[in-house]
Amino acid sequence: MTATPIALGPNHTPLLEQAITEGGGELAELDRARALVWDGDPAAFPDRLPAGIEWVQLFSAGVEEWFDTSVFDRHPDVVFTSAAGAFARSVAEHTLMLLLAGVRQLPAHLAARSWRSRDELAPRIGTLRGATVAVVGAGGIGRELIGMLAPLGARVIAVNRSGAPIDQPGVVDTIPAHRLSEIWSRIDHVVVAAPATTETRHLVGKAELAQLRPTSWVINIARGSLVDTDALVQALRDGTIGGAGLDVTDPEPLPDGHPLWELPNAMVTPHDSNPAQLRGIAFADHVTENVARFVQGRELLARIDVAAGY
């Protein structure tokens, strides 16, 4: 059986070359390939693809920047897939770290410079056991996180696009995205893991924050645009919510002197929930699986829905 010709660009790394061959592909020049694995950004993407290209695998999980170009418009007959789900475990671990750190008041402990009475922080220290956590965007990352929350005794309200029930331990309800307004008064904490689109901009704003509890933590590991930064800063200052853990911000990078750096109930990590040393290996595994699916004529993982915007 002849191996399926797959092109790789713009970089040729041994890890991705091996991933392609392990999936049943054969490295080939672009003009004779049936598919392209692209580990670069939109700016370097070819203006035109050869007519023989049927599928393109992109490196990023979030593809909103690709919609700012005409790449999809120029190639309407090509199937594009993202890396959505490939980095789920690493990001979910980081998410759980932020949520647990907030609930257990780790920022206050780290800021301390002297021994304090055990009772001083006690009223603010919580637990995930019995807490209701909304996972807004229950895709690959969300599902991995749900699997980590369940053993800790958390109750999860999952929010996805369709509202199709998620059959995982710990999930007590699944809500379709268009009914998101129903969850805020029901939950203790919220994790934002939804894709960034025009519809999801400021998904969490002043009205949503006002319905949360003074002990609620807001965790955002998706994109900064999903949370209204000004509204969040005000809620943190006023004690409307307990705190925020952010691996993404708006603006990003977060400039020096921004209030989020100074607020004691805000934790900011520099978009490193998926560090480079883990990202490359995870993407290679994703490529191997998708190449195998392409070779075998099976459904590809993380197919981009151009109409939906992700």
Active-site residue, from 17, 22, 54, 252: 252
Q: Alpha helix (H) ranges present in 39-191?
A: 71-74, 88-103, 106-111, 118-121, 140-149
Active-site residue, from 34, 75, 271, 279: 271
Peptide bond between residue 255 and the one before it cis (omega within 30 degrees of 0): no
Task: Report the half-sphere exposure of 300 (CA within 13 A, side-chain side).
Answer: 24
Which two three-digit tokens encode residue 167?
């059959």
Neighbours of 185 (CB within 10 A): 10
Q: Hey, is 31 helix, strand or coil?
A: helix
CA gap 200, 172 in Å, rounded: 24
Query: Among this protein's residues, is 12 annotated catalytic?
Result: no
Q: Hey, is 11 helix, strand or coil?
A: coil
Query: Among this protein's residues, is 186 annotated catalytic?
Result: no
Which two three-digit tokens encode residue 233?
């800063």
Active-site residue, from 208, 223, 286, 289: 223
Query: Among this protein's residues, is 223 annotated catalytic?
Result: yes
Peptide bond between residue 270 and the one before it cis (omega within 30 degrees of 0): no
Q: Which residues are designated catalytic?
A: 223, 252, 271
